[in-house]
A and B are shown apart, each in its own frame.
Chain A
Amino acid sequence: MTLRQPKYLTLAIRFAALGIFLLVWDLAVRLGWIDPLFLATPLDTLEHLVPVAEHAAPDLAITVTTFLSAFAAGVIVALAIGFAIGISHYSRRMLLPLLALGVTIPKVTLLPLFILWFGIAQTPVIVFGALSGFFPMVINVMTAGGEVKPNQVLLAKAMGFGPLQIFRKVTLPAMLPVLVSGLFYACNASMMGVFIVELALARHGLGAVVHDLAVTFQTADMYAAVLLTASITAAVNMALWYAARYFGRWRY
């Protein structure tokens, strides 16, 4: 695609940018631009990383299980409803704008309602996370059906394949890239949903850990926890993003 001749230059710029960022960060604390109560130096943050990780391990486990349940629930319901709606052009046209609305509205506004209904244990976290992931996924499932061209099905019929085989060999592979990309968006949304509620409730999970560390001004620990969470979520998201790219590689 592009000749990476100035490859060294690109890397150099990247390192320079990161270096400047870390330098400014460090100086901001050392020179007192920002009160050290509110910002920890990069080194401090790294030093606290491992102890915080160990300490937060049980909460990390809670967040992970919560997220997985929420994500799975949202995706499964989205697949069921999406397939059911996607069968008929009419129902798809009728319901798509409503469901698209569900993606764009700030669902966080409903948070107090969820807490009212489900209490302050892990239930609202799971439900909110599932709901957050449901909407982007259902849209993708509904539109994935449009990826299958009628000629492709006709050809398979002319070749003598039965309906189940046609589903396996034609419908599913055609839909796969859109479905996987939907998983990516749903995963991102579910993660955010789970974290938001944990932060708000401040009782269990990584969100609660970060919250507690922040309000008790254990600054270096808090930054370490944030770094930890950011790294894990970024890793998962990027893995899914590359997966979506891999499954769509035959398209472009």
Chain B
Amino acid sequence: MHKLSPTLARLLLVLVLLVLWEIFTRFSSVSAILIAPPSAILWQMAQILVRASNVPDFYANAWLTIVEILIAYAVTAAIGVLAGIAVASSKVIGDAFEPILLVLYAVPKIILYPVIVLMIGTGPATKIVFGVFVGIFVIIFNTAAGLRQIEPNYLRLAHSLGYGGAKIFFKVQLPAAAQTVLAGLRLGFGYTIIGVLTGELLLVNAGLGYLIDWASVNYYTAQLYALIVITLAIGVVANYVVGRIERHWVRG
């Protein structure tokens, strides 16, 4: 049994589950509204991707969601890293803001959601802002931690070689902290996606959230499952890609 590599075993497990799901759906008396067999779901997914399904404007909506995620992440990463640098650069500022950040972190961001909707409305900007809120903390924390934990010997060496402030920052501090910072950026991406998608699914007026809601209120069950799988797949693939980028950069 142990000759089977874990990866293969995992694949087999998933396949077995899919087969069981298929059999269960086809032969049980559970309503077709509640559950669709994997074969139908896969068929719908194919249909959606070639625009042959009745899902309205799939690519336009999907693209909207993706753009929201990308903009949200760009903002989150930029502000997050800068804020992290600010917190790490001055001991006083860092100490002052640490508890404040901690408390903000302890509030589940979803609670601030109605506030944001109230102030910014129901357009894509809200979802972007929400993505930023959810993703920014881990980036700030990791950036600050990474910069603070640099071996003091690195800095001493740089000083002894005559390097000034800015040079030290780019040549010594940034590379040394890179691993932690990049890890934070990777986690932040995942959180940003969650933030944006939460917004989309609560404000079901545009993007993938709109499509999912459309499928659910019209009881197009296969389409619903298909759209959910596509959305999750986008999230999984995006996380995976970012993970690979991170590993590549950390090694180099």
User: Which residues 1-52 of A sit at the B interface, judged by CB distance below 8 A?
Assistant: 2, 4, 6, 9-11, 13-14, 17-18, 34, 38-39
Return the contact of A199 from the options B99, B113, B193, B221 (Cβ within 8 A). Answer: B113
**Is B102 an interface residue when CB atoms closer than 8 A count as contact?**
yes
Contact at B216–A115, with CB atoms within 8 Å? yes
Contact at A108–B198, with CB atoms within 8 Å? yes
Decide yes or no: A238 and B92 within 8 Å by CB, A39-B119, A109-B201, A229-B111 being known contacts: no
What's the minimum C-beta distance from A52 to chain B, rounded to whole angstroms?
14
Chain B residues, Cβ within 8 Å of A241: 102, 106
Return the contact of B115 from the options A6, A200, A223 (Cβ within 8 A). Answer: A223
Tell me the total A-B contact number using a CB cutoff of 8 A. Answer: 139
Contact at A104–B239, with CB atoms within 8 Å? yes
**Is A123 an interface residue when CB atoms closer than 8 A count as contact?**
no
The B interface, classified by DSSP as helix, strand, loop or mixed, is helix
Chain B residues, Cβ within 8 Å of A108: 194, 197-198, 201
**Is B250 an interface residue when CB atoms closer than 8 A count as contact?**
no
Return the contact of B108 from the options A18, A101, A117, A191 (Cβ within 8 A). Answer: A191
Contact at B193–A106, with CB atoms within 8 Å? yes
- In the assembled complex, the Cα of A73 lies from the Cα of B108 at a distance in Å of 20
What's the minimum C-beta distance from B230 to chain A, rounded to whole angstroms?
10
Chain A residues, Cβ within 8 Å of B103: 234, 238
Residue among A34, A109, A112 with the highest chain B CB neighbour number at 10 A: A109
Decide yes or no: A238 and B102 within 8 Å by CB, A90-B6, A222-B114 being known contacts: yes
What's the minimum C-beta distance from A247 to chain B, rounded to whole angstroms?
18
Residues of A participating in the B interface, judged by any CB pair closer than 8 Å: 2, 4, 6, 9-11, 13-14, 17-18, 34, 38-39, 90, 93-95, 97-98, 101, 104-106, 108-113, 115-117, 188, 191-192, 195-196, 199-200, 210-211, 213-214, 219, 222-223, 226, 229-230, 233-234, 237-238, 241
Q: Would you give 6 A-B contacts (Cβ < 8 Å), ordered by A?
A: A109-B212, A110-B228, A112-B224, A116-B34, A195-B111, A238-B102
A-B pairs, 4 with minimum CB distance: A13-B96, A237-B106, A112-B216, A94-B6
Residues of B participating in the A interface, judged by any CB pair closer than 8 Å: 1-2, 6, 9-10, 13-14, 33-34, 91-93, 95-97, 99-100, 102-103, 106-115, 117-119, 190, 193-194, 197-198, 201-202, 212-213, 215-216, 221, 224-225, 228, 231-232, 235-236, 239
With contacts A38-B118, A93-B6, A214-B117 known, what are 17 further pairs, Cβ within 8 A? Answer: A4-B95, A14-B96, A38-B119, A101-B236, A108-B197, A109-B197, A109-B235, A110-B228, A113-B216, A113-B225, A117-B34, A188-B108, A199-B114, A214-B118, A226-B111, A233-B106, A237-B107
